[in-house]
Structure 1
Amino acid sequence: MSIFQKELKQLVHDKGALLSTLLLPFVSTMILGFALTNSFSSEVSFEDVSIAVIETSTLEEDLQIASERFSVHEDELKPLAVPDSLFAYMDGDISVDYYSPDSNVVHEDYTAVIEIPSEYRLMLWHEQLVGGWSEQVESFQLYVNQEQRQHAMMVETMMNSYMEQVYAHTELAENDEGIIDFGNVVVQGTSPLTSFEYYTYGMGVLYVFFTAGLMANFAFSEKKGKIYGRLVIANVQPANYLLAKFATSCVIVFLQLLVLFGLSMLIFQITITNWLSFMAVAIVLCLAVGSVASLLVAIQFRANTEKVANVFMLLVVSILGFLGGSFFPSSNLSPLLNEIGQFTPNGRALQAFIQAGQGESIAQLSNSLLYLSIFSLVLFVVAWVVFPSKGGIES
């Protein structure tokens, strides 16, 4: 604890380094946001979204059966058709193709594929008009194309929002609390990001890794200045020193994110829909950067050189930014590049931040949270093993 307090006091006294570390991500976000503002759309667009619907019976066939069964005109049933009524609200922006189960549908050609089981529309009409849900009828299946990650996420969120409204309105109608009228479909969390929103996330997840390199250089400066040697002579365990660097890095990263997102919300009007998910991502990102800082400290102490951190900040962080999509959406260049970017810590954190900002729950972000947690644990264990037992003071 005493070492950690020393680190924080040293950090507070070096106000110039502290301010530049905290404000640099925001300055970069502001520059890139203004420079590339025309590269991002602020309006919802589904022009590149295509959906394939695999159905055992067509909408027209189901309408005819339902009209005779419920004694309701087809024109009154059509606006209640699920999921067909959703597409009617999109004004033709979404490309929708219908297939029979025998058709050979190439899933990769579509953003999403929806499989509607037999009598699914009839079951929902029965529920809406008569009541009495039939649990024997399967729900439709939605398959999304991960190579079109952004559009696939839009479709998935759109369908979830749509079905929630269907169930809600049906429940209200059964209790005579409303009229069966689905109204306008509200697409939640699917708006394409503005340039300021994207680069707030992109610069946030990138610049925190510079902090890892800076912490490693600070630690090596302490080694050269015999400060670390005096700590070891004072019976401070090397493991505790490494833990202090890890904890200090986490605190600095958290402050960086706090300043960046606070200023961006105030000035650029970005919004965070799910704060719980957002904080969870921020915490695991702090741990990831702390583990990277620990590993750099361990390697530099073992090799007795500060070049490792310099190479990391000048070269490795730039590569991470390129692959992870911090400079521009990597999915716009290549699906393969986008997939590779998901294995970088900043790329995975960027995607998780965007999803949290658009309202995804912690459960939906569990893969990203688990990945970053395992990444942190593995790197810190490696750092622990690599760090010299005497901190390298003998060299």
Structure 2
Amino acid sequence: MIQSFIKKQFLLFIRNPHELLVLLGMPFILVTILGFALGNVMDGDDGAPKIHAKIALVNEGNEQADIQRFVHEVESMKLSANQKQMMVHTAKAMLPVTTLKNEVLGSKELKKYIKVVTVQPSKLKKVRQDDSYAAIIKVPNGFTYSVLRNALLGEQQPAKLSFYVNEGKEMTSEFVEDIVLEFQQRYSMFSALGKSGFINHSFTIPDIHVQGKVETVTKKKPIHAITYYMVGMSVMFVLYIASNVGSYAFNEKQLHVFDRILLADVSKWSYMTGIFISTVLLAFVQLNILYGVTSSVYHIKWPALFSFLIVTLALSLAVGGLGVLLTALNFRINSEQVSRFFQSVLVTLFSLLGGSFFPSGQLSDFMNTLGNFTPNGSSMSAYLKLLQGYGLTEVTHSILYLCLFSAAMVVASVWAFPKRGNLS
């Protein structure tokens, strides 16, 4: 008998092309529209603002002369030969101005963003009036000598760079300022090591690199917009299965189909079991069709197919639980309004909290936690982790939650379903 109920539900969906278009066609269309429309924003591609900073480097001193001056000073000190050798070696390796110009601002990673122009000190005033420069870095006379004395001899007076920014180029000037601050912090650390006596003859100044590649914190595969919305729209539209099943069941009650089932000495729990299983199967089929078509069209690969099927089954069970609960509530209040309210309000609310339209975690940790308590949010988190290369063990908590959610909905539906005398 339960098999007949399942067959009936499938036939109802197949014979309703409007519902099929909404459940299968609409998500694919939205994935395409949102994926391409918001792809630049989410992927950080061409939609991101371009940074092209022109920087003037004004060096009023002579780095090599400063180094020689420091070397001569060290050689005249009353220190051991080993200490002198260590300081001379370190001084010749530091080269702060050269490092800033060639290895930091002129590095391979930053060349496409920054153009460094060496400017004579006599032209500083003219350059400050030139609006094409995003920033000006002025290296005062004796800067390298001061850096060496501060780092290796513990002199309290720090070396200072003069940094001028163009207020009309706020973003690019801040970009350059962050780089210079990083440079300054590295040398401050080096200075602290020197003052503490941790630098010896084998110590070399650490390389300063600015990485141009964006990576995720866990170094897993990044999620692109098409992939994100494939998951987001699929877990959203699968919820409509539950509301549609609830509406179909109530229509059967209105048409006295349910009464005839009871008169045929069929238990109402057999009927509800058929509702649950058919909803689970319909959701499972819908998700596989959506993911299969979208993955084929946009060449999205699932690293672990078995894990994908387990998460899909768990989500389908959660939708099945919602389906029987909505059916029970419709029967209890003798109205289709519960299914309609779920379809028009709760699905949208769940989708917003669960991150179907945008990552809810960007708003706050509380919103992210709240979204994971929705069936679509929990399953979406699991799907995205699988797409990033995580294993089944990393999404076990989501699978367990979806199963518990399904069980809770089934228990609630048993409580909500009206007694036999109140079914009219």
| TM superposition score normalised by structure 2 | 0.57
One of 337, 343, 347 as aligned partner of 1:317: 347
Report what 1:33 is aligned to: 35
8 Å CA contact 1:215, 1:293 repeated in 2: yes
Q: Tell me how far 1:231 sits from its aligned partner.
A: 0.9
Moved more, 280-289 or 258-267: 258-267
Inter-partner Cα distance in structure 2 for 1:326 and 1:16: 23
3-state SS of 1:309 partner? helix
The alpha-carbon deviation at position 37 of structure 1 amounts to 1.4
SS in 1 for 2:381: helix
1:9 aligns with 2:11: yes
Q: What is the distance in 2 between the residues matched to 1:11 and 1:306?
A: 18
In structure 1, C-alpha distance between the alignment counterparts of 2:330 and 2:387, rounded to whole Å: 37
Match of 2:382 in 1: 352
Q: Is the 8 A contact 2:243 2:339 kept in 1?
A: yes
Flag as ranges the 4+ runs of structure 1 deviating above 4 A: none
1:266 & 1:3 partners in 2: Cα distance? 33
CA drift of 1:154 comes to 4.2
SS at 2:394's partner residue?
A: coil
**Which residues of structure 2 form unaligned runs of 5+?**
46-108, 111-213
Aligned-partner Cα distance in 2 for 1:391–1:218: 22
Distance 1:39-1:392 versus aligned 2 partners, 3 A rule: farther
Q: In 1, are the aligned partners of 2:360 and 2:367 still within 8 Å (CA)? A: yes
The size of the alignment, in residue pairs, is 256
Q: What are the equivalent positions in structure 2 for 1:202-221 lying under 5 Å apart? A: 202-221=232-251
Within 5 Å, give how 1:1-395 maps onto structure 2: 1-41=3-43, 154-156=216-218, 158=219, 190-390=220-420, 392-393=422-423, 395=424
Q: Is the 8 A contact 1:291 1:380 kept in 2?
A: yes
* One-letter code aligned to 2:404: I
After superposing the two structures, state which structure 1 stretch, 284-293 or 262-271, moved more: 262-271
Which has the greater radius of gyration? 2
Q: Secondary structure at the match of 2:238?
A: helix
Maintained 8 Å contact 2:10/2:282: no
| Residues in 1 aligned to 2:216 and 2:407: alpha-carbon distance in whole angstroms | 32
Calculate the aligned-residue CA RMSD, in Å: 2.1
Provide the secondary structure at the position in 2 that maps to 1:364: helix
Question: Which ranges in structure 1 are unaligned for 5 or more consecutive residues?
Answer: 44-90, 93-150, 159-189
- Structure 1's 392 and 2: CA in aligned 2 closer, same or farther, altered over 3 A? farther
Judged with a 3 Å threshold, the aligned counterparts in structure 2 of structure 1 residues 25 and 367 are, in CA distance, closer, same or farther, namely: same
- The aligned amino acid for 2:391 is S
Contact 1:216–1:300, Cα closer than 8 Å, also in 2: yes
Post-superposition Cα deviations, 1:125-172, rounded to whole Å, max 9, x if no partner, equal xxxxxxxxxxxxxxxxxxxxxxxxxx9x9444x4xxxxxxxxxxxxxx
Report the TM-score when normalising by structure 1.
Answer: 0.61
